[in-house]
Homo-oligomer: A and B are copies of this chain.
Amino acid sequence: MIHPVILCGGSGTRLWPLSRVDKPKPFLPLVGKRSLFEQTLDRCVNEVIFAAPTIVTVEKHLDHVEGQLGEAAGASIIVEPMGKNTAPAIALAALRLPEDAIMLVCPSDHYIKDTAAFVSAAETASALADQGFLVSFGIKATSPETGYGYIKRGEELGVGFAVERFVEKPDLATAQSFLADGSYSWNGGIFAFKAEVFLTELANHCPQMMDALRASVEAGSKDGQRFHPDASSFAQIESDSIDYAVMETTERAAMVPVSMGWSDIGNWDALREAQNGDALGNSIKGQAELVDCTNVMIHSDGPRVSVVGLDDVIIVVDGNDVLVTTAAGTQKVGTLKGAKSQ
């Protein structure tokens, strides 16, 4: 059995004004009618392959998590006292699961089009994890993205590959060379490993974090399906990502290549690509009329949006905010006053 561990921590600014501090991205129905969090849960519903999920979240998102969790039988929720990035979040789940549990760590704010490919890769990763590897999903790179980390694959391991190295977000020329090379994949933040293997590695590289985590779990309290780690111990932890704390340093890193229509929906342009536009490339959520428009995305929570003559533009109406941006401009949305002043 694979134990899904679903991370519902952060909240970004790049999908402002739709995604806001009090209405974060995982809980929005950005593609289709179900939220990204719900779709993440849906992908791991298969009684033969998957155990009940463990959700790691923070207090302020708890209402969203419980509101959308629905029928996921036997689900556990770990409520972090505060966000400390991914390494502590995953370690909390590892400490609460059986030592030999195979964990599948999934961000809750990504979109995956091809569930069958995801499940197949999860099974492959699980087999490698069972052999003691710490496995990354290596997302097939389809463009020279500079916003993602990359994974260079090494020798074959029967199923999957060893990792030759992890690469930080590259510049465009480097990203283009990676794409041409073919042995680099995007690091999509999806991982599989045995709980005890992860904890051993984390203890090796970050012994102080590990001590604080154990203390926090020992002094924690259970409340129905929720588990609350002790806040005073947890507060002492230094924030760190799983990539820095474990994946880039371990000698047991492996990767499974996968092509599954993945997107991190990292900005409005990425969302537009994930949505299937009409024949002219336009996609509309809400009430809108488009005249002489191509590749225009509208997202309105109420007002009617009428557009004439535009190409490659994204228009979002949400509450008391209207955003109008070119596709290229979506990179700068997080720097807008509205996005920063939340």
Contacts and interface: CB of A to CB of B under 8 A. Distances in A.
B324 A315 contact: yes
Contacts of A17: 306
Given A322-B315, A335-B291, A328 B309 contact: yes
Interface size class of A (residues with CB under 8 A): 20 to 34
Contacts of A183: none
A122 interface: no
Interface stretch (A245-253, A271-279, A297-305): A297-305
Contact of A324 (B306, B326, B330, B332): B306
Contact of A322 (B306, B319, B338): B306
B320 A324 contact: no
A231 interface: no
B333 A304 contact: no
A310 interface: yes
Nearest to A288: B322
B308 A330 contact: yes
A321 interface: yes
Contact of A305 (B310, B313, B324, B333): B324
A234 to B, nearest CB: 37
Interface of A: 17, 289, 291-292, 300, 302-310, 313, 315, 317, 319-326, 328-330, 332-333, 335-338
